Amino acid sequence: MSLSSNTARAPQLEDVPDRPGFAQLARIFIVKQPLGAIGGAMILGILLMGIFAPLMTPHDPVEIAFENMLLPPNQEFLLGTDQFGRDILTRLLYGARTALFVGFTAAFIGSTAGLVLGVTSAYMGGRFDLICQRVIDLFQAFPLIIMALAIVSIFGPSVQNVIIAITIPFIPDCSRVVRSSALALREIPFIDAARANGFSNTRIVLRHMVPNVMAPYLIMLTTFVGHAILLEASLSYLGLGVQEPTAAWGLMLQGGAEEYVESAPWVAIWPGVAISIAVFGFNMFGDAVRDMLDPKLRSQ
């Protein structure tokens, strides 16, 4: 009896499919979401530019050389120089570091805090949920750029303060989206089973609810990175973000977008192109992630 039962179960165990590896998942993503793959390639290119910036250019991003001021693109300076004689290509490469650091840090902290707040608010319900939602409504009443301007004006311009100013407006947006998914999840029987087993509220939230709302969290995270890069560039352009001599795309626009738009247009064109490519890449990649993770869109 035991031998026959084992032989009967053996084919079932052998037929269990293996979990797809990273290469297979990447291939599926490229086939089903070609635009998202293009966006991912843009992101990867910008990331590699920032990492290997010292190896890709011989120039110093902060060294001033007035004898090279406003030179047009040539063999030595492929994208020309700015009003201080600094190589624009070099500052673009190093500016990718600033953009990605601010973008990823602000998006991750804001999305993660919104994830915890949204799931906790949905699970607790009652007065706690009511108070949280009214506070979130208060924050969402202000546009992102207005709130970021107010925060950085209070704390002062610096990289750390820019991250804080961008992170805070992201928290209520992610919290509201995650809460809508967690509200339906709260009524599923396995949550009631966890309560019946005497699990603490913290364990139920972190172990049972958070893993099941990761899809909207990842979507918001990828989308927020592009928004954070654009906000950082906007704050730097207004003089409230990254300060000289740090290489930053918005700061490069502040120095040449208006004054040299006719006499030396390359000073403003290339930082604008870099910002556009970064934001466009993250938006396409975020949309593709949403289409892959959303069951309603995936079934169409």
Write out pLDDT tens, residues 137-167.
888 888 888 888 888 888 888 888 899 999 9
- In terms of residue numbers, what domain contains 277? 71-298
Distance, CA of 242 to chain centre: 18
116 belongs to a structural domain: yes
14 belongs to a structural domain: no
pTM: 0.84
278 belongs to a structural domain: yes
26 belongs to a structural domain: no
- 211 to 180, 182, 214: CA distances (angstroms): 15, 11, 6
Q: Could you read off the pLDDT of 95-104 as tens digits, one per residue?
A: 999 999 999 9
Share of the chain above pLDDT 90, in %: 33
Q: CATH number for the domain including 117?
A: 1.10.3720.10
Instruction: State the Cα–Cα distance between residues 288 and 257, nearest whole angstrom.
Output: 33
